[in-house]
Amino acid sequence: MSSPRPTTGRSDRHPLVKVPIPVELPAGVVEVSADWEPGAGRPALIVAHGAGAGKDHPFLTGFTEALGARGFGTLRFNFPYAEQGRRMPGPAAHAIAAWHAVVGFVREQDPDVAVWAIGKSYGGRMASMAVAEGLEVAGLVYLGYPLHAPGKPEKPRAEHLPAIVVPQLFIEGTNDPFIQPLAQFDEVVAGCQDVTVVWVEGGGHTFEVKGRRRPASEIGSSLVTFVSDFVTR
């Protein structure tokens, strides 16, 4: 484990610590990197990256930094394929195993803390599959749920969603090609339990809005109010 790295923001914030977390895969145990910052009496929010970027993408660092400034514990981690430097995701079972490992790590640090699973696109879908298969968390937050590949609405990735009983927050851009047509997305959500949807008007899959240029870190941090309000409602 590396030495703690000081952070800015709240005066009572714990140091951010880089930790290796072992993940049990069929071929053996691998370690994934994670950045862990304990909270200040609030829920712990675990954040997973999307398929095309690892945990250190500015969108995610801006997002988790803003969560930490509000007193939440945060853990941002790599999936095994990203840790190994591969560009394409491995089997879903590997990502699900990683979710079990990181949730287990956070609970080892504080057995009483409420743990929420948050994921950008692919990371959120993998979290939802893990929860549908039995992973216990207080709730789920999707930062752009990838209902289907762009232009392929005939192949939705939603068959497991109705089985999830914990609260789910979908934060979605109205121009996101992964959920077009929106009528299909609305139909999927209507078949789920305890769902809230927040729309970012004009937002794409990474919540960029045409004609409004902002750094990715700023876009990520701009979503934190939605998450904070939902988690603490």
5: in domain: no
Residue 41 pLDDT class (50, 70, 90 cuts): confident
Instruction: Tell whether the model's pLDDT for residue 4 goes beyond 60.
Output: no
Q: What confidence tens digit (pLDDT) does each residue in 140-159 have? A: 999 999 999 999 999 999 99
What is the mean predicted confidence (pLDDT) over 185-206? Answer: 97
Domain-embedded: residue 7: no
What are the residues facing 16 on neighbouring strands?
5
**Host domain of residue 162:** 17-231
Percent of the chain clearing pLDDT 70 (strictly above): 95
Q: Average pLDDT for residues 70-87, to the nearest whole number?
A: 96
Residues 107-128 have pLDDT tens digits of 999 999 999 999 999 999 999 9
- List the CATH number of the domain containing 213: 3.40.50.1820
Domain assignment present for 8? no
Split into its structural domains, the chain has a count of: 1
Candidates 56, 59, 55, 48; CA nearest to 92 is 48
- Looking at the domain assignment, is residue 2 inside a domain? no
Question: Residues 155-163: contacts with CB within 8 Å, 24+ apart?
Answer: 156/184, 156/188, 157/125, 158/188, 160/128, 160/129, 160/132, 160/133, 161/128, 161/132, 161/188, 161/191, 161/192, 162/191, 162/192, 162/193, 163/132
pLDDT at 2: 30
- The pLDDT confidence band at residue 14, using thresholds 50, 70 and 90, is confident
Q: Is residue 23 part of a domain?
A: yes
| Tokens 């939902």 found at | 230
Give the least confident one: 2-11, 48-57, 84-93, 149-158.
2-11
The predicted pLDDT at position 12 comes to: 67
pLDDT of residue 13: 76
- Look at residue 46 and tell me if it is in a domain: yes
**Mean pLDDT of the 55-66 span:** 98
200 is a domain residue: yes
Distance CA 228, CA 233 (A): 8
Element (H, E) at 22: strand 17-25
What pLDDT is stored for residue 67 in this prediction? 97
Q: Is residue 39 part of a domain?
A: yes
